[in-house]
Chain A
Amino acid sequence: MDVLFRNVKELVELAESRNMLISDIMIEQEMNITGRSREEIIAQMDNNLTVMEQAVERGLNGVQSVTGLTGGDAVLLQNYIAKGNSLSGDLLLDAVSKAVATNEVNAAMGTICATPTAGSAGVVPGTLFAVKNKLNPTREQMINYLFTSGAFGFVVANNAMISGAAGGCQAEVGSASAMAAAAIVEMAGGTPAQSAEAFAITLKNMLGLVCDPVAGLVEVPCVKRNAMGAANSLVAADMALAGVTSRIPCDEVIGAMFRIGQAMSPNLKETARGGLAATPTGKAIAARIFGGTA
């Protein structure tokens, strides 16, 4: 069956020439490829949205991972926002806390929806449930947010990579953040081209980010990388909506990410041999958890 787009340029051109949303194009392609009905596809995404909602809620109530390395920061952030003195803004911090909430649940072996991966599962729902309070979207628009994120993620996954083991954190949280930025723009009423700009601006600023999990666990620094990824995507979305454009086209940024990922040392690709994992404290944590062999 026919693939409608293979890169961001084709995706944007198609959406603009047909005067459709990127989410619409994604749904149509999914129907083409899988032969499933629109209703079935939307119902599955609706279910994924529910899983995300429940994970955020669970995280905001406070969770702890088995190791005790992560958990509870989402609660700290919400309490801080409630005091009304946040410097970076309530919406941005709300997104950060909800991204953290999701990843804390993930680290505690709770149920989440990978977006695109589990280690980067916080950014897309975190930003969605924060932006929701400002834009008051319908349920359908929230589902579309996920299809738009998915459309961009589809391009990255096929033209570069989305796993830390293959391309470092830039491929995981970098991709997730860029996907979220594109979806925020669409929900805020921006054009498909502006979604692509937001994607490019976000990913450019996360290029080179390594995957260096302490003790090999999806905890440190993964939870905080999702926090900052969410902040990155909101700022980039605002920049694109303001009319700022990327000098390097979106697809070329994805190409750069791919080549950087290939050039990255295996020590920095989810093997827990380099970066933060190899710091004295990182090694001490690994020794405490695994008895010195990790």
Chain B
Amino acid sequence: MKFTSVFDIIGPVMIGPSSSHTAGAARIGRVARDLFGRQPKWAKIHLYGSFAETYRGHGTDVAIVGGLLDYDTFDERIKTSFQLAKEAGLEFEFITETANKEHPNTARIVLGDDSGEMSVEGISIGGGKIEISEVNGFKLRLTGGMPAILVVHDDRAGCIANVANTLAMHHVNIGHMEVSRIERGQTALMVIEVDQNIDEKILHQISLIPHITKVSKINN
């Protein structure tokens, strides 16, 4: 079931004009920033399908940039996000793509700073609801509606159990979990949706587990 809450239908409260192209876009930007873990210095924003065709009229561009600045869907600052990004030291570029994606409203955001970069692909599925479909080349499905942890790790036995044990130790319940890898024995990604926001201490503890290379989170 894609839509679980009545507030997916009656909501969100948002700056117009489009729930999928403005509110959804802002959310994709914000989740990308969340996953990156800090304010990026630069972002290359690739737009596909209907996003590519109509982004200017819908304010998709200012919304994504607003999301990258951590603004929520109803934040009035979305309207002036380009100027505010400049002031915050965030450079951005929009690239309209002609390739056909599975979903018409797709954005791929490559964002980074001096110490790293990340690629996040999100789709806006209607009514402001989004799904994250790819992170750094890993296919996944993440709604952003629940707090979640993303763990990049070596594809070795025991990694998943170690992470799950750490969460269990802190009484964190796992609601949903997915594991994917690009190639056997190489790098893999765990996507763990949990019932409550995870604090930095737990994330740090997970990052110390052997064969874990990167940990990021989405709060809700």
Contact = CB atoms under 8 A, between A and B. Distances in A.
Interface of A: 3, 6, 26, 29-30, 33-34, 41, 44-45, 47-48, 51, 105-119, 121, 124, 146-147, 149-151, 153-154, 157-158, 161-166, 171, 179, 213, 215-219, 266, 269-273, 289-290, 294
27 contacts: A34-B5, A44-B7, A45-B10, A105-B16, A109-B16, A111-B74, A114-B12, A114-B127, A115-B10, A116-B8, A117-B18, A117-B20, A117-B126, A118-B19, A118-B128, A147-B6, A149-B10, A157-B3, A158-B3, A163-B105, A166-B104, A216-B56, A217-B58, A271-B50, A272-B53, A272-B57, A294-B56
A149 B11 CA distance: 12
Interface string B93-127: 00000000000110000000000000000001111
A165 B20 contact: yes
B10 A269 contact: no
Most B CB contacts (10 A, CB to CB) among A47, A115, A270 go to A270
Contacts of B9: 115-116, 149-150, 153-154, 157, 162, 179
A272 B54 contact: yes
B76 interface: yes
Interface in B47-95: 49-50, 53-59, 74, 76, 79
A171 B19 CA distance: 13
Contact of A114 (B2, B3, B14, B124): B14
A47 B13 contact: yes
Contacts of A48: 7, 10-11, 13
Q: Chain B contact residues: over half helix, strand or loop, or mixed? A: mixed
B191 interface: no
A273 B15 contact: no
B58 A106 contact: no
A119 B19 contact: yes
Nearest to A166: B126
Interface of B: 1-23, 49-50, 53-59, 74, 76, 79, 104-105, 124-128
B62 to A, nearest CB: 9
Contacts of B8: 116, 154, 157
B10 A153 contact: yes
Contacts of A116: 8-10, 19, 126-127
B54 A216 contact: yes
A264 to B, nearest CB: 12
Nearest 4 interchain pairs by C-beta: A216-B54, A163-B126, A106-B16, A153-B9
